[in-house]
């Protein structure tokens, strides 16, 4: 349909977007995308069916609508005010009690300790669980139940709970669309909203944060970390379950490319797509960014022991909310605040646990951001490398393998505390740190090791699924025998002078050399957008031996979009393991294969990756044992000359003339990209360092004025 054909009868009236030159909905200037034509529009002049706006909009058929009161009796009883309160407390504190009574709280109980419950809840559920309005994803669909359970526990204890929410988007729903341009930037915005909501209830005595997924949960952890002098507890939102038959929520995102390549019929794709999210609530069933964030939150000590990865909707999941509410009230009574929980040692423990799980590389962005909010050292690539060289991966979970256990089986096998038992025996943890349970990590692990909960759940895994829990969470020597390697490697080279990231443990073992090193040399095929790269995969333009290079997708180009479409497509195509990916974008936590992301500097920042041309010869070497790697241009026009010659080629070659940020990149994200860049960039966690931003603005203003 042409731009001229888009009329107000089928679409919202359009105007012209000055940056892209396209017509866009006038009431949605930031989306810069056409809305879909209404199903009832057969042409541009027909009115959509199913929607009727009466020309007699003020006629009323129900006479009861005119029964409008102007006064009511108001709540009965009296506020428990004191003379001292009226003399010395701010009027906002007193009026807050009036508001509480107006909302129906028993006036005589209004003086209880006030606690704030924050969440990422989305959607509207009927009491029986059926949807009235959908959320963006299963991860926040049921967290309202956790809020209710926690609130009831607080109320029963005489406390006064408040509840508020800032919902979160779905990275899975955003894949391959301009919605992904808002994904990472959303995290900072949501953390800011959470912090503002916390400060907007100045009478709070503590905060309970409930969140589940890729950006909402890191945002919640950032917000809680900033509450240095308040009691805070994090409640992870849990996981969804696998279908009895069919794909997991990661693999199902490839039904399009598998259909195009003849791997699936239309009927098979339709059935698989229908049942992959087999239960209505919780994060995805694999150890992606959502599940890894839950693991990290518990490893930081912000969550109760064995709370990460619980099955959403189950009694054990609801019990976690009630226990967390009690823990928060106990912390407040004892005067224990987040400053006591989040320390440099706690950050280190979380990094160690992340490595042992084989967690998502996106936590390389989120952990420094949490540390920044806690006013702690922000771990950098050197810190991550040091941790990963010392810590073996001992968890066999989706997507890393080798047997690909879903997250619910990791939970039943013992989850975070079971992994930490192994890490403690290896001397890799600081067990003196305090946790929100009110005891040290060492005491908590002792209690876990001898608990009935541990014994019963591990037995349940054996009985229900026939899975030995020690095959899910392994002793280090067993893990090594089964080929599990350390998690993350940070390659450098003439194409990544400031570094890059690869989840080296997720490279297909069948493409490794006999010495366990991944070596790959191939011609570059360069793309400036993810849709064009995806089209090349679907059309067969990408062949075994190619290096797919995707540029202009870093923070300045696309908000550092996540490119799971590409990695998942290659994973589930027979030839995909023989293709490498190199990009200044990032990857989903469920991505696997020879995928090198976070290449720095990004193309639009003058990085040499922005000089690559089709046919350039690229060599990638990743040593999964030593966690060393290189990514180099070694020649052009099919000639392999070596890294030094490649560096010389790059030195004399200008940047490509077609480098540009995406025309659909929202101004909101452009602002985020600029602010995080002067705050330490991607290696600093993409945070807002206010002091650094102000210094830069002041210096810039002085330069302009001089």
**DSSP states along 98-138:** HHHHHTT--GGGTTSPEEEEEE---SEE-TTS-EEE--SSH
Strands 231-236 and 204-211, bridge-based pairing? parallel
DSSP classification of residue 208: E
Nearest to 311 by CA among 435, 444, 393, 415: 415
Q: Is the peptide bond before 402 cis (omega within 30 degrees of 0)?
A: yes
In 3-state terms, what secondary structure has residue 73?
Answer: coil
- Reading the block at residue 529, the tokens are 């957008």
- C-alpha dihedral, 651 to 654 to 658 to 660, nearest 10°: 70
Tell the burial category of 684 from Cβ atoms under 10 Å away from its Cβ (0-12, 13-18, 19+): buried
- Reading the block at residue 341, the tokens are 């929980």
Q: Is the peptide bond before 601 cis (omega within 30 degrees of 0)?
A: yes
Nearest to 547 by CA among 500, 497, 452, 614: 614
Q: Which of 588, 591, 600, 661 is catalytic?
A: 588
Angle between helices 452-465 and 441-449 (to 10 degrees): 50
Helix then strand count (H, E) for the chain reads 27, 16
| Contact by Cβ (8 Å): 420, 473 | no
In 3-state terms, what secondary structure has residue 665?
Answer: coil
CA 200 to chain centre: 26
- Compute φ and ψ for 16, nearest 5 degrees: -100, 130
Tell me the sheet residues that pair with 396.
Answer: none
Q: Is the peptide bond before 399 cis (omega within 30 degrees of 0)?
A: yes
In 3-state terms, what secondary structure has residue 160?
Answer: strand
- Compute φ and ψ for 570, nearest 5 degrees: -70, -35
Distance set, CA 600 to CA 326, 603, 620 (Å): 45, 8, 16
Separation CA 385–CA 351 (nearest Å)? 10
**Angle CA(551)–CA(184)–CA(542) in degrees, nearest 5?**
30
Nearest to 419 by CA among 343, 503, 347, 476: 476
**DSSP states along 495-560:** TBTTEEEB-GGGS-GGGS-TTSEEEEEEEEEEESSHHHHHHHHHHT-S-TT-EEEE-S-SHHHHSS
Strands 595-600 and 499-501, bridge-based pairing? antiparallel
Nearest to 545 by CA among 570, 527, 564: 570
Cα torsion 678, 682, 684, 689: sign? positive
Separation CA 504–CA 358 (nearest Å)? 10
**Angle CA(155)–CA(157)–CA(158) in degrees, nearest 5?**
65
DSSP classification of residue 335: T
| Contact by Cβ (8 Å): 279, 322 | no
- Compute φ and ψ for 151, nearest 5 degrees: -65, -40
Task: State yes or no: is 324 an active-site residue.
Answer: no
**Angle CA(545)–CA(571)–CA(278) in degrees, nearest 5?**
170
Which residues are known to be catalytic? 588
């Amino acid at each position: 349909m042409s731009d001229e054909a888009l009329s107000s009868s089928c679409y919202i009236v359009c105007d012209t977007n000055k940056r892209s030159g396209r017509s866009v909905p006038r009431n949605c200037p930031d989306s810069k995308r056409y809305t879909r034509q209404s199903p009832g529009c057969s042409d541009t002049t027909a009115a959509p069916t199913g929607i009727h706006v009466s020309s007699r909009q003020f006629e009323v058929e129900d006479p009861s609508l005119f029964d409008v009161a102007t006064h009511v009796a108001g709540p009965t009883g009296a506020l428990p005010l004191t003379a001292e309160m009226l003399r010395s407390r701010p009027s906002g504190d007193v009026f807050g009690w009036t508001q509480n009574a107006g909302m129906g709280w028993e006036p005589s109980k209004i003086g209880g300790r006030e606690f704030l419950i924050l969440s990422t809840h989305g959607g509207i559920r009927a009491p029986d669980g059926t949807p009235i309005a959908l959320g963006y994803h299963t991860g926040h669909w049921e967290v309202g139940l956790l809020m209710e359970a926690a609130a009831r526990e607080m109320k029963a204890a005489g406390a006064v709970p408040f509840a508020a929410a800032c919902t979160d988007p779905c990275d899975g729903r955003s894949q391959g669309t301009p919605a992904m341009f808002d994904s990472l930037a959303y995290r900072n915005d949501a953390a800011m909203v959470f912090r503002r909501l916390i400060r907007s209830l100045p009478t709070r005595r503590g905060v309970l944060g409930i969140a589940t997924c890729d950006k909402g949960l890191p945002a919640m952890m950032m917000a809680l970390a900033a509450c240095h002098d308040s009691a805070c507890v994090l409640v992870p939102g849990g996981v969804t379950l696998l279908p009895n038959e069919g794909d997991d929520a990661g693999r199902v995102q490839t039904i399009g490319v598998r259909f195009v390549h003849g791997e699936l019929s239309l009927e098979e794709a339709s059935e698989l797509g229908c049942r992959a999210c087999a239960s209505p609530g919780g994060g995805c069933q694999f150890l992606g960014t959502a599940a890894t964030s839950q693991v990290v939150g518990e490893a930081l000590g912000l969550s109760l022991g064995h709370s990460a990865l619980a099955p959403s909707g189950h009694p054990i999941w609801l019990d976690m909310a009630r226990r967390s509410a009690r823990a928060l009230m106990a912390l407040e009574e004892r005067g224990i605040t987040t400053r006591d929980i989040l320390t440099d040692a706690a950050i280190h423990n979380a990094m160690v646990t992340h490595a042992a799980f084989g967690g998502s590389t996106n936590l390389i962005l989120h952990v420094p951001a949490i540390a920044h909010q806690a006013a702690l050292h922000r771990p950098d690539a050197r810190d991550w490398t040091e941790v990963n060289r010392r810590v073996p991966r001992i968890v066999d979970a989706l997507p890393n393998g080798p047997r690909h256990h879903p997250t619910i089986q990791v939970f039943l096998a013992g989850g975070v505390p079971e992994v930490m038992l192994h890490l403690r025996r290896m001397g890799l943890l600081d067990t003196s740190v305090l946790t929100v349970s009110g005891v040290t990590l060492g005491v908590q692990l002792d209690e876990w090791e001898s608990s009935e909960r541990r014994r019963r759940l591990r037995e349940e895994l054996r009985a229900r699924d026939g899975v030995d829990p020690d095959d899910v969470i392994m002793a280090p020597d067993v893990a090594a025998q089964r080929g599990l390697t350390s998690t993350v490697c940070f390659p450098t080279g003439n194409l990544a002078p400031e570094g890059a990231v690869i989840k080296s443990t997720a490279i297909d073992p069948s493409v490794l050399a006999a010495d366990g090193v991944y070596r790959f040399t191939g011609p570059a095929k360069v793309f400036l957008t993810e849709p064009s790269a995806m089209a090349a995969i679907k059309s067969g333009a990408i062949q075994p031996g190619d290096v797919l290079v995707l540029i202009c997708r870093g923070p300045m180009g696309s908000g550092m979009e996540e490119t799971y479409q590409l990695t998942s497509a290659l994973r589930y195509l027979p030839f995909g393991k023989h293709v490498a990916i190199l990009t200044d974008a990032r990857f989903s936590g469920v991505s696997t294969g020879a995928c090198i992301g976070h290449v720095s500097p990004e193309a639009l920042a003058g990085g040499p990756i922005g000089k690559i041309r089709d046919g350039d010869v690229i060599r990638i070497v990743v040593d999964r044992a030593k966690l060393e790697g290189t990514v180099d241009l070694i020649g052009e026009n099919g000639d392999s000359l070596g890294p030094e010659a490649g560096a010389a080629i790059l030195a004399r070659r200008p940047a490509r003339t077609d480098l540009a940020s995406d025309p659909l990149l929202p101004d909101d994200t452009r602002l985020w990209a600029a602010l995080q860049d002067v705050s330490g960039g991607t290696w600093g966690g993409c945070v807002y360092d206010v002091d650094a931003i102000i210094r830069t603005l002041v210096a810039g203003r002085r330069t302009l004025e001089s």
